[in-house]
Structure 1
């Protein structure tokens, strides 16, 4: 019997479709995916292929029509939204193309927020946030608000926020899509470094083949299905 606890994240026969009257729009058509602990997986594919829908489903932000997601061996089918939210907060991290930082808060307090939501002592939460910000090279920028940071720095704050609760897996949706080439390359290197140092699994949706090449595994999403080939246009 396979020990499912060795996987950070699993998708089992994930199907997602929407119905509008007599019309049915199939988005995911039976996705199976096992992401090992500490593994970095890149998913590439054309716009509209279902990449973001898959990421939202893996992140428990959206429920599949059928199939199931397991997070660190925990089955999530049939859980309440409160239970799903708790798993998201404790086991998953998220990084998006747009950083979604709170503009009125400093980098430090933005990163501490997931721990504060968890009702951790505020002083301890800020101490942990400061440590993670140092890991991503922002030790000197902790008091700055997002408007005082460059695009690359804001993305590093977003990455620190994703990591601060020590998740088993970080889900990243086009994390360099809003950055210039040089800044994106620096972000690539940081993602790989963090992946190794924290032993955190990453699932990265990207249009950028350079980022995909850094991953341990590259998968292509095409017409709602995942394939290991890499010869489709992205």
Structure 2
């Protein structure tokens, strides 16, 4: 049965800061619905509000006003602990820089989100191995990040984002630190896992090729999505 609950629904989201002399409006009334399995690209110039929006969508920051629902659950009124639990259970993250733990193998890096959810070490590693296979790293599971190429490290980061079966993965410039050929391979992989896992993706990118892969593209301009 297809999930009809949106992966993410935000309404009337604003974010303002007071810098000591004036109030700055970073986000100006954002409305956005991302359906289960949808891939959305958000593009925009530096300073347009993309990073602020991404942090709010990822429950890493609170909006000044507005509603945020993740997989149908209203997040705006939750406590910090409840938001953290919802984030861990429902969301995955991929960053421009992979943020892998250098002392751990690819397998243990990917297993980490499950271990944090108190899944047994053996079960977490078993699931991590399956997902690493899905992203083409079945032969590299015991390698540490320093023994992997840049593209392989980003694949590990993607596997880590997917291992807990999130409803939504937020990807911040996921190919921004890769050469052209590796970035193109990453584009293809993102689309493949989007289809196979039916996981929604929101990709913030400056790359028009990556944006063109998405089901939908929106432009962030002066704190609003167009």
* Alignment TM-score > 0.5, same fold: yes
The answer for the alignment partner of 1:163 in structure 2 is 162
Whether the 8 Å contact between 1:130 and 1:142 is mirrored in structure 2 is yes
Could you tell which deviates more after superposition, 76-85 or 209-218?
76-85
* CA positional deviation for 1:78: 1.5
Secondary structure, counterpart of 2:7 in structure 1: strand
| Alignment length (residue pairs) | 224
1:203 match: secondary structure: strand
For residue 10 of structure 1, report the CA deviation from its aligned partner. 1.1
In the alignment, the residues of structure 2 paired with residue 6 and residue 81 of structure 1 have an alpha-carbon distance, to the nearest angstrom, of 24
Q: Deviations over 1:114-154 (max 9, x none)?
A: 00000001100000000000000000000000000000000
In structure 2, C-alpha distance between the alignment counterparts of 1:19 and 1:156, rounded to whole Å: 39
Q: Which residue of 2 aligns with 1:181?
A: 180
2 CA distance for matches of 1:10 and 1:205? 17
CA distance in 2, matches of 1:138, 1:226: 36
Q: Where do 5+ consecutive residues of structure 1 fail to align?
A: 228-234
Q: 85-94 or 12-21: which moved more?
A: 12-21
Aligned partners of 1:49 and 1:222 also within 8 Å = yes
> CA-to-partner distance for each residue in 1:78-97, whole Å, 9 max, x for gaps?
21111001011100000000
Q: How far does residue 77 in structure 1 lie from its aligned partner after superposition? A: 1.5
- Mapped to 1, the partners of 2:158 and 2:135 lie a distance apart of 8
**Counterpart position of 2:77:** 78
Equivalent residues of 1:5, 1:72 under 8 A apart: no
Could you tell me how far 1:180 is from its partner in structure 2?
A: 0.4
- Alignment correspondent of 1:129: 128
Deviation at 1:21, TM superposition (A): 2.4
Distance of 2:106 and 2:92 partners within structure 1: 17
For residue 33 of structure 1, what is the aligned residue in structure 2? 32
Instruction: Look up the match of 2:118.
Output: 119
Displacement of 1:5: 5.4
Residue of structure 2 in register with 1:232 after alignment: none
Partner residue of 2:43? 44
Structure 1 residue 203 and structure 2 residue 218: aligned? Answer: no
The alignment yields a C-alpha RMSD, in angstroms, of 0.9
Normalised by the size of structure 1, how large is the TM-score? 0.94
Residue number in structure 2 paired with 1:230: none
Q: Is the 8 A contact 1:8 1:71 kept in 2?
A: yes
Structure 1 stretches of 4+ with a deviation exceeding 3 A read none
* 1:168-189 superposed Cα distances (whole Å, 9 cap, x missing partner): 0000000000000000000000
For structure 2, list consecutive stretches of 5 or more residues without a partner in the other structure.
none
Provide the rounded CA distance (Å) in 2 between the counterparts of 1:101 and 1:38.
Answer: 26
Relative to the length of structure 2, the TM-score reads: 0.98
Deviation at 1:160, TM superposition (A): 0.1
